[in-house]
C-alpha cells in the first residue's frame, strides 16, 4: 500500500535506496523537499527512524537558562538579542544564575541548557564562574552550554585557541554544546540575515574541534524565512560531511522561524507541512545522525507528537523559561511536565524514554502508566 503511494509520488527510486540503506544524494533530498506528497515522505522517513531508534521516543528533564540577551550580532531573525543599554536588555549575575539553579533543586533535572547573546564586555571569567556555580549547586547535572558561535567568541575574549578554550570550559563543567547558531550556512543567507555572525564554515570548524576533544554537540537549521530548498540541502550536506569525519553530532534539530518582533516580521510563520518536511527530509538525508529532534517549543506539542511518525525520535524536554522563541511570538507554553511528555509520546504510539544529554536511557515507560 505504502509502496504504491511512494511510487505514485515518483519517489520509488528513493524508497529503494532507503530500503537498501544507501545514502541519498543532494538531488534526492531536493526532490523530497519539493514533493507535495507528505505521507509518502513521512513513510520514507519513518523507515529510517524505526531502523535507528525502533519505537523509542526520547525526552529529557532539563532547565533552560538564558544568561543574557545582550548581543553584538543583532541578527535580523532574532527577537531575543538586544543592544547593551536597550530597555529590554538584561544580564544575570553569577548569583542570579546560582539562584535559578537553586530554585529547582527539588526537581529531577539532569541537564541545564545555557545559551545567551554575544555580550560585548562580560569577561571570560564570567563564563567559567557560571559553569562552576552550576556544578557547585548541582554537581550531578550535565551542562549543555554555549553554541559554537558563543564558543568562538569566548575563544576570542580568552585570547586563546578554540581548542584550548574548550579545554578550560570543560574543566569548569561544560559537558556538551547545543546546536544553535548554525542558522543556514549559505553565505548569501548569512549576508542577508546575520552578517556579523560567525561564518557557516567557522561554525563547522568549531563543532569539529569540539568533537575531536570528545565533546558532543548538536546541530540546527533555522528554516522558513528566505532560504531556498537548495540552501537547505547544502546545509544538511555540510553537516553530514563533518559527521562522517568526526561522528560527534548527537542530534539534528530543525528550528522553525518565528517572525514576530524581528526585523523579518513581514514573513509568515512556517506551515505544519514545512515543519514536517524539514524533519522528514533530515531523517532521510542525515543517515549518520543518530537522532532527529522535534522541538515542541517551536512547532507546538501537537505537531511534535505527529513528527514522531515523520522521522523524529526526540521531543527535547521539560524546558521552562525559554526566551528565544517566545520573544519571537511562540504560542507554546513555557514548560511541559515529564508526565505530559510521557502521555504525548504514548498517545503517538511510541515508547517514552527519559534520556540524559548523551542519550543514555534513564527510564523506559513501557508498561507503566505514570
Q: How many residues bind ligand V47 (CB under 6 A)?
A: 22
How far is it, in rounded angstroms, from Cα 110 to Cα 92?
A: 22
Site string for ligand V47, 204-243 (x = CB under 6 A): --------------x-x-x---------------------
3-state SS string over 290-312? CEEECCHHHHCHHHHHHHCCCCC
Q: Which stretch binds ligand V47 (CB under 6 A): 5-13, 239-247, 252-260, 332-340?
A: 252-260
Site string for ligand V47, 266-305 (x = CB under 6 A): -----------------------------x----------
Question: With binding defined as CB under 6 A, does residue 78 bind ligand V47?
Answer: yes
Which residues have a Cβ under 8 Å from the Cβ of 238 and sit 6 or more positions away? 185, 200, 204
Name the residue among 297, 322, 311, 298 with its Cα closest to residue 348.
Answer: 311
Q: Which stretch binds ligand V47 (CB under 6 A): 152-160, 271-279, 320-328, 341-349?
A: 320-328
Nearer CB in complex with ligand V47: 64/98:
64
**Binding test (CB under 6 A) with ligand V47, winner from 77, 203, 249, 365:** 77
How far is it, in rounded angstroms, from Cα 48 to Cα 41?
A: 11
Q: Residue 284: is it exposed, middle or buried by C-beta count within 10 angstroms (0-12/13-18/19+)?
A: buried
Site string for ligand V47, 118-147 (x = CB under 6 A): -----------------------------x
In the sheet with 111-115, reading across from the earlier edge strand, the strands are 62-66, 111-115, 142-145, 174-176
Give residues in contact with ligand V47 (CB under 6 A). 77-79, 147, 178-181, 183, 218, 220, 222, 253, 255, 257-258, 262, 295, 316, 324-325, 328
Amino acid at each position: 500500500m505504502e509502496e504504491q503511494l511512494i511510487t505514485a509520488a515518483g519517489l520509488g527510486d528513493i524508497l529503494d535506496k532507503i530500503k537498501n540503506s544507501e545514502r541519498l544524494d543532494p538531488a534526492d533530498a531536493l526532490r523530497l523537499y519539493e514533493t507535495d506528497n507528505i505521507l509518502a515522505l513521512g513513510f520514507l522517513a519513518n523507515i529510517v527512524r524505526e531502523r535507528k531508534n525502533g519505537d523509542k521516543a526520547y525526552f529529557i528533564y532539563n532547565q533552560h537558562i538564558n544568561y543574557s540577551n545582550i548581543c553584538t550580532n543583532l541578527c535580523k531573525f532574532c527577537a531575543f538579542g538586544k543592544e547593551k543599554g536597550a530597555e529590554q536588555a538584561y544580564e544575570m549575575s553569577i548569583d542570579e544564575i546560582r539562584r535559578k539553579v537553586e530554585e529547582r533543586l527539588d526537581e529531577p533535572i539532569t541537564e541545564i541548557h545555557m545559551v545567551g547573546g554575544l555580550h560585548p564586555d562580560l569577561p571570560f571569567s564570567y563564563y567559567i564562574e557560571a559553569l562552576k556555580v552550576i556544578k557547585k549547586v548541582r554537581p550531578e547535572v550535565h551542562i549543555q552550554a554555549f553554541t559554537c558561535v558563543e564558543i568562538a567568541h569566548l575563544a576570542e575574549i580568552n585570547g586563546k585557541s578554540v581548542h584550548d578554550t574548550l579545554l578550560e570550559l570543560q574543566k569548569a563543567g561544560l559537558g556538551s554544546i547545543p546546536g544553535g547558531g548554525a542558522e543556514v550556512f549559505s553565505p548569501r543567507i548569512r549576508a542577508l540575515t546575520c552578517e556579523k555572525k560567525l561564518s557557516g564554515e567557522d561554525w563547522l570548524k568549531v563543532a569539529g574541534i569540539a568533537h575531536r576533544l570528545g565533546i558532543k554537540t548538536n546541530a540546527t537549521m533555522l528554516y522558513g524565512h528566505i532560504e531556498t530548498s537548495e540552501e537547505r540541502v547544502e546545509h544538511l550536506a555540510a553537516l553530514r560531511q563533518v559527521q562522517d569525519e568526526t561522528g560527534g553530532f548527537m542530534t539534528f534539530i530543525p528550528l522553525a522561524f518565528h517572525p514576530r518582533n524581528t526585523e523579518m516580521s513581514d514573513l509568515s510563520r512556517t506551515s505544519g507541512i514545512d515543519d514536517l518536511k524539514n524533519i522528514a527530509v533530515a531523517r532521510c538525508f542525515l543517515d549518520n545522525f543518530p537522532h532527529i529532534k522535534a522541538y515542541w517549543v517551536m512547532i507546538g506539542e501537537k505537531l511534535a507528537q505527529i513528527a514522531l511518525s515523520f522521522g523524529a525520535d526526540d521531543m527535547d524536554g521539560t524546558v521552562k523559561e525559554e526566551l528565544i522563541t517566545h520573544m519571537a511570538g511562540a504560542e507554546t507554553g513555557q514548560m511541559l511536565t515529564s508526565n505530559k511528555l510521557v502521555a504525548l509520546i504514548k498517545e503517538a504510539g511510541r515508547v517514552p524514554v527519559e534520556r540524559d544529554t548523551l542519550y543514555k536511557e534513564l527510564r523506559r515507560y513501557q508498561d507503566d502508566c505514570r
